Amino acid sequence: MKTQDNKYVRIMVITIVLLIAVTAAYVLYIKNASDNVRVFDADSDEVSIEVFNPEGKIWEDMYRYPGHPCGAEYSVNVYNYSRLRLSDWTITIVFDGPFEIDSSWNGVFEADENTLTFTPEGELVFVEPENSRYFGAVLYSRYLLNVESFEITGRMPLDPFAMPLTYIIAVLYVLWMLYVGSHILANARIESLLKQRAHDLQMIDQSIRTFTSFIDAKDSYTRNHSLRVAIYAKEIGRRIGLDDDKLQDLYYETLLHDVGKIGIPDEILRNKGSLNDEEYKTIKTHTGKGKEMLKDFTAVSNIFDAAYYHHERFDGTGYPEGLKGEQIPLCARIASIADAYDAMSSDRRYRKSLSREKTIEEFKENSGTQFDPELVPVIISMIEDGFTDRVLDEYGQDGED
């Protein structure tokens, strides 16, 4: 769950950083391209001009500008054939002769010999895409002028809303937000399911523990016995490397190992003297009774294994089947050791609890005969590192109430 989470967070961070980087590069590109001052001349396909003298606007006036007898209105159309707006433009037109400006409009005109420079004002500073603007002036010259060359300088700012990449980036942001949003929703859902699951597990655990407390209550010497055995067993399982699911099953299997004692008469279980053969025989039936009781409990497969086989011995001299070695299910071999430890660490009707040294000695002595020799070092390590003491501190030692 944690690693999944980290993976999602990493993907979210990497993608948003990439998106921001792409956006920044894109914005920078638009800004640079928009600020770039461009030059258009007669060879340009994007911007062009047409100069003409309107009809009736050509006249001769010998007196107005000495040496410049020919006057005319020169109208200029500036065409923008591109799909971008031309802005802040200035035009320089070189005519084939010198002239004087008589009058002009819509901008600032400058004349220098053959050259006319015009900078528009007002709305004229823009020439919209696939559109044109018009300006004009009355010029006096020696003869009717022709255009030799022209040059327009201006900017063509990019329009982000006319560029597909803008929409692609916007869609990527939307996708990113959907991804993050769905992840947050999914997380919330998973969290509520996990809560529900934890609650269900707690209910199952409490139900079984309540049930096993009835078993333990039948024998006043074994309060919390089943729970401690289950805790020891689970720890043994953990130390030999069982996975979480197996540990959970092992916990329930061993928690229920003495379930068959429900069917044993109280007077035998509580017998303070030593048991006669008949009574001992009756006690031994608790394994079979346990199996019988748990046979319909199918949520944990073979949950009855610990109940049925926990009195088997590794050397094959136990009961009820006399199984040997690894024929005995692992959970039962573990239950046997956990059960024995709990018996040794508890005060019983016939003796006080054993010392730590004596307990370890017992396990060593019975390794390979009563107990699985591979599990004995595990329980000894749990005794030595204080695990078993902590369980005893928390869940109490047995003894008569």
Footprint of Fe ion on this chain (CB under 5 A)?
A: 258
Judged by beta carbon, residue 47 or residue 236, the one nearer Fe ion is 236
Distance (Å, whole) CA 151 – CA 355: 107
Q: Which residue is nearest to Fe ion (CB)?
A: 258
Distance (Å, whole) CA 335 – CA 322: 16
CA 169 to chain centre: 22
Q: Are 258 and 225 contacting, i.e. CB atoms less than 8 angstroms apart?
A: yes
- At 329, the amino acid letter reads P
What's the min distance (Å) between Cβ of 387 and Fe ion? Answer: 22
What's the min distance (Å) between Cβ of 290 and Fe ion? Answer: 8
Judged by beta carbon, residue 320 or residue 368, the one nearer Fe ion is 320
What's the min distance (Å) between Cβ of 301 and Fe ion? Answer: 21
Judged by beta carbon, residue 253 or residue 258, the one nearer Fe ion is 258
What's the min distance (Å) between Cβ of 207 and Fe ion? Answer: 21
- At 5, the amino acid letter reads D
Judged by beta carbon, residue 3 or residue 274, the one nearer Fe ion is 274
What's the min distance (Å) between Cβ of 282 and Fe ion? Answer: 13
Sequence-separated (6 or more) residues with CB below 8 Å from residue 89: 78, 120, 125, 127, 152, 153, 154, 155
What's the min distance (Å) between Cβ of 257 and Fe ion? Answer: 6
Give the DSSP letter of residue 274.
P
- At 133, the amino acid letter reads R
Judged by beta carbon, residue 181 or residue 265, the one nearer Fe ion is 265
| CB burial string 137-157: b at 16+ within 10 A, e below | bbbbbeeebebeebebebbbb
Judged by beta carbon, residue 258 or residue 305, the one nearer Fe ion is 258
Judged by beta carbon, residue 68 or residue 310, the one nearer Fe ion is 310
Distance (Å, whole) CA 152 – CA 90: 6
What's the min distance (Å) between Cβ of 369 and Fe ion? Answer: 18
Distance (Å, whole) CA 100 – CA 141: 7
**Does 320 sit behind a cis peptide bond, omega within 30 degrees of 0 on the bond before it?**
yes
